[in-house]
Structure 1
Amino acid sequence: MRGVTHRITATREDGTVFEVRYGYGRGRRRLLGCRHCDWQERITHGGARHKGLDHLAQAHGALGSPRMAADPAARRQTALIMLACCAVAAVVVWWAASQG
């Protein structure tokens, strides 16, 4: 899986943390993939968190502390893109104001 955007985690009773990654594979297909086994599933619409937690519960017995968090790299990329868009908008507004 190339572009991981979210990580879905749950813990087993013995404290072991299991993780399913959600992101994009070849051809921009949305995928779920388990870090602990070969399980992978294509997602066509919504329900990634639910399907990921179901896999962790059924395959690994991980039921505790379910959590879905954005991947830090994806969060940084989004922040940089938003910063660039705001900078371009500020320059356009400044230019438009200086023309009047």
Structure 2
Amino acid sequence: MTHHITATWEDGTVFEVSYGYGARQRRMLECLHCDWEEQITYGGARHKGLDHLAQAHGAVGSPTMTADARARRQVMWTMTVCFLIAAVVLWWATSRT
């Protein structure tokens, strides 16, 4: 799982739903506090995760969605490589004239 959707209960207890790719590259939501999981076929993961936390666990306070550090590093690495490739292509194209 690459993202975490959290909300708190009245006493400050934090409830969490994980979101990311499961088996066979399906996008999944999984609750860490019960057996609930749902396959996502289109957008709305944050909304569905927060709905579950509110309805099943009564957690409605301080809703957040965060990415794992590993996921952030992978995105930054990919962006850096793409930028470097674009810079090399641009340098090559301008040096030919």
| 2:18 paired with 1:21 | yes
CA distance in 1, matches of 2:61, 2:38: 22
CA distance in 1, matches of 2:32, 2:70: 18
CA distance in 2, matches of 1:50, 1:86: 33
CA distance in 1, matches of 2:37, 2:3: 15
CA distance in 1, matches of 2:57, 2:69: 25
Matched residue of 2:93: which SS? helix
Cα deviation code 1:19-71 (max 9, x no counterpart): 10110011211100011222110011111111101111122111111111222
Matched residue count: 97
| 2:97 paired with 1:96 | no
TM-score by length of 2: 0.92
Matched residue of 2:38: which SS? strand
* Percent sequence identity over aligned pairs: 68
* Cα offset, 1:15, TM superposition: 0.7
- Unmatched tracts of structure 2, length 5 or more: none
Q: What does residue range 1-100 of structure 1 map to in structure 2 within 5 Å? A: 4-100=1-97
Matched residue of 1:20: which SS? strand
Q: Which is further off, 59-68 or 7-16?
A: 59-68
CA distance in 1, matches of 2:90, 2:51: 49
- Unmatched tracts of structure 1, length 5 or more: none
Q: Which is further off, 9-18 or 52-61?
A: 52-61
TM-score by length of 1: 0.89
